[in-house]
Amino acid sequence: MTSTGIRRTVAASGALALSLALTACGSDDDSASGRTRITVNCMPPRSARVDRAFFEEDVAAFEKAHPDIDVVPHDAFPCQDPKTFDAKLAGGQMEDVFYTYFTDARHVVDIGQAADLTPYLKELKSYGTLQRRLRDIYTVDGKVYGIPRTGYSIGLVYHRELFEKAGLDPDRPPATWEEVRAAAKRIAALGDGTVGYADYSAQNQGGWHFTAELYSRGGDVVSADGKKATVDTPEGRAVLRTLHDMRWTDGSMGSKQLLVINDVQQMMGAGKLGMYLAAPDNIPVLVKEKGADYEDIALAPMPGGKATLIGGDGYMVDKKATPAQIRAALKWLDHMFLTPGDGFLGDYARAKKKGAPVGLPEPRLFTGAADAEDQRVKRAHANVPVENYRPFLDGSRRLETKIEPPHAQQIYSVLDGVVSAVLTQEDADIDRLLKDASGKIDGILARG
């Protein structure tokens, strides 16, 4: 699954002449004229006016600094449509530099559609500063086929005011699932429709969160070789038993189930929900769209202490790109996304000026001196209560990070039924549900 989408959503306008009349996807290297042309995707749509203006400004600045390179951006939201992604690749319709989710990387390499960037990495000044765990996602058999742009991990979003009303310390959020259950029960006891803890259980989102909760307990969805399901385990049963008992024994999850992300965000924004699992980019959505206050919303690391699910995105380069286009692409990525405190994702002064949130704990892309500089500039321009996210920053570093399983959406569809059954049927047979799910996942993995 992805996080909530475009990072900034406040209104502004602006347009620059960017040669957008070109409609083809992949482009020919125009080196005969002394200029190299690259097409790139994931330009924000016109409806996201601030992001669009920032993107256009940054591309124009890049072309001014590199007069030998033409960048032709194509707008799209979402940046990748899973229903057309493979067809575009196979049909030669993909841009020269194209957006991918972390879970796409190996697949694109396996079908032979990505350029090997390894010989050109010296063109990417920032590469050595990026977190290794993120770089490794795009590394296959020692060769680099893509560059990470953002990364996120799931944590526990919680409502500080409700914690205080329930007699809980908002500066010491739950660290274990037992503590989550106890806190949820106390919050639900406030009454007036207040729910202690909510979880998704529809539209594949229940399967996504089951995976995150399984990781948090040290379990996994599939075996290390990717051939067998590993959900029918003590850890899998513990996930479902906790959800069952919170829902039916404690009554701390409310009676309305089959929830999806928007439902849960509405509850939190209205001050009627104590906790749910999400990435940090949920926070501005809660405030700007759902009525919450930044001061009330806090973030803790994933309960359980074992691992957290990570996601994110990056860019790969089409296999037909010329060496000049690959070099141009890496220079463009450095300029747009990978310079601490600058560019489309890192110009915090510009973001603050336009009313976008600055100071959220992720994405945290860099290491060492680059990370220190990025965090310094972010703190200098922060306009959100950064101390509310201190538990998440401190605690998440101690967790193992794990990406989504192969064939994630198909597997999530299977696990959706498991989670929804537990939350809607008090007598749900957890052992049977997991056994059946395991067989179905084995079938998905066998089909490849």
- Mean pLDDT, rounded, of the chain: 92
pLDDT for the residue numbered 82 = 79
β-pairing, 273-278 with 195-197?
Answer: parallel
Average pLDDT over residues 327-345: 96
Do the Cβ atoms of 43 and 336 come closer than 8 Å? no
Average pLDDT over residues 72-87: 87
Does 232 score more than 50 pLDDT? yes
Question: Token pair of 200, please?
Answer: 């998704």
Question: Which secondary structure element, helix H or strand E, spans residue 150, and what is its range?
Answer: strand 146-153
What confidence score (pLDDT) does residue 83 get?
82
Instruction: Judge whether residue 18 has pLDDT over 60.
Output: no
Integer Cα distance of 283 and 293 in angstroms: 9
What's the confidence (pLDDT) of residue 448? Answer: 77
Q: Is the pLDDT of residue 14 over 70?
A: no
Residue 285 pLDDT > 70, yes or no? yes
Q: Can you give the length of the chain in residues?
A: 448
For range 239-267, the mean pLDDT: 98
* pLDDT the model gives residue 163: 98
Interatomic CA distance for residues 331 and 323, integer angstroms: 13
Assign 2 a pLDDT band (cuts: 50, 70, 90): low
Which residues contact residue 438 at a Cβ distance below 8 angstroms, ignoring those fewer than 6 apart? 229, 231, 232
Q: How far apart are CA 216 and CA 212, in angstroms?
A: 6
Q: What is the pLDDT of residue 364?
A: 87
Mean pLDDT of 335-349: 96
25-34, 97-106, 376-385, 390-399: range with lowest mean pLDDT: 25-34
Mean pLDDT for the stretch of residues 230-250 = 98
Where in 333-416 does DSSP place strands (E)? 400-402
pLDDT at 24: 43
Spatial contact of 255 and 262, defined as CB atoms under 8 Å apart = no
CB 73 within 8 A of CB 18: yes
pTM of the model: 0.87
pLDDT surpasses 50 at 284: yes
pLDDT at 1: 62
In whole angstroms, give the CA distance from residue 114 to residue 14: 34
Query: Model confidence over 203-226: pLDDT tens digits?
Result: 999 999 999 999 999 999 999 999
The tokens of 338 are what?
Answer: 């990978």
Q: What is the pLDDT of residues 34-66, one digit of tens each?
A: 899 999 999 999 988 999 999 999 999 999 999
pLDDT of residue 32 exceeding 70, the answer is no
